[in-house]
Structure 1
Amino acid sequence: MTSRRYMLVAWMGLLALHPGCATTLGDVRLHADGAPMSEKCPEKSLEVMRYLQLYVGEAVWVQLDANQSRAEHITLHDGPIESVLDEDIGTLEAPMRLYGRVWTGGEQPVIRYYEAQFLKGKDRVPICAVARLGFGQLRKRPESKPGTAILNSSRAGVYIVDEFR
């Protein structure tokens, strides 16, 4: 067993001692346009990210919606989202799942990730990450209806954060 696997097994034991550490999604306040306001990353998530060697500013590519992977255009809806890591980051190995929430109220969707799901049925772990693309590439297409965001790409960068801004 590699040292990475030992670390994950040890971490899973630590997580079992601290149930209920994920962020409650309903606690996020919204701006007038429906975009979420800033939100602190929970201390437990910060602790877990340090242990998993996930450092603020690190980024990897993801398929934004596990149900629309590699599509030319995708439609995101307000609410929960399941994304798929395309690359390893820290001790998280692709194709790990990321779970979060989408808000489509502004000019571009806001996607925040609160949990990562280990493969083979292991527990979810708390994290703080956001989806981003530069140069307006995550902007909604003009034909997007309220509550949805039609995007030109199924991929985005996911960045580890210590606070959602």
Structure 2
Amino acid sequence: MASNKFALLGCAALLVLSSGCPGTATGGVSLRPDGSPGPEECPADARKAMNYLRMFVGEAAWVQLDANQTRTHPITLYDGNIESVLEENLGLIEAPARLYGRVWTGGPQVVIRYYSAQPLKGGEQVPICAVARLGMGQLRKRPDSKPGTAILDSPRAGVYIVDEFR
């Protein structure tokens, strides 16, 4: 337990010293012709923070996609910012932390990229790079989704740590 607090304290110090701010990475993402986001690098401060928190590429946990629609079937996501609820520990970030990111609904499948995590036991937001995934096309929008929205049958997905957004 003491090592978890030490790691979170180290990340808080890293955030104070870093020039970047979680969430600023969401601006200026190029879009593909289908409306889904193009490639994006994971900022160096996020890679460093994830290393301290033992959040390595491929590590995963379950999340409730929208903190405002937990356990709702179906859910509607909108283009723009999102707050998700971590259901399992992810590295040293303990559930039920919050994950903050951005949703794109322009393509045939919803794309959710996470740029920061907020531990609920205090401390600053921690920069991360993670994506929401669900196998067998389950993040595919339902046909009755209107432009700028995505209706999904599942309110949950896996969140996976990445070293870049593809």
Tell me the TM-score range normalised by the shorter chain.
Answer: over 0.9
TM-score, length basis structure 1: 0.95
Partner of 2:40: 39
Aligned 8 A contact 1:59 1:158 in 2? yes
TM-score, length basis structure 2: 0.94
Q: 1:124, 1:72 → 2: CA distance?
A: 29
Cα deviation for residue 31 of structure 1 reads: 1.0
**Is 1:153 aligned to residue 146 of structure 2?**
no
Q: Which runs of 5+ in 1 are unaligned?
A: none
1:63-95: CA deviation from partner (whole Å, max 9, x where unpaired): 000000011110000000000000001100000
Q: Which runs of 5+ in 2 are unaligned?
A: none
Aligned 8 A contact 1:41 1:162 in 2? yes
User: What is the number of residues matched between the two proteins?
Assistant: 165
Q: CA RMSD in A?
A: 1.3
Q: Secondary structure at the match of 2:135?
A: coil
Q: 1:61, 1:53 → 2: CA distance?
A: 17
Alignment of 1:2-151 (within 5 A): 2-22=2-22, 23-151=24-152
The one-letter code of the counterpart of 1:45 is: A
Q: Secondary structure at the match of 1:34?
A: coil
Aligned 8 A contact 1:111 1:130 in 2? yes
Q: Secondary structure at the match of 1:37?
A: coil
Q: Secondary structure at the match of 1:36?
A: coil
Q: Secondary structure at the match of 1:24?
A: helix
The one-letter code of the counterpart of 2:17 is: L
Identity over aligned residues, as a percent? Answer: 65
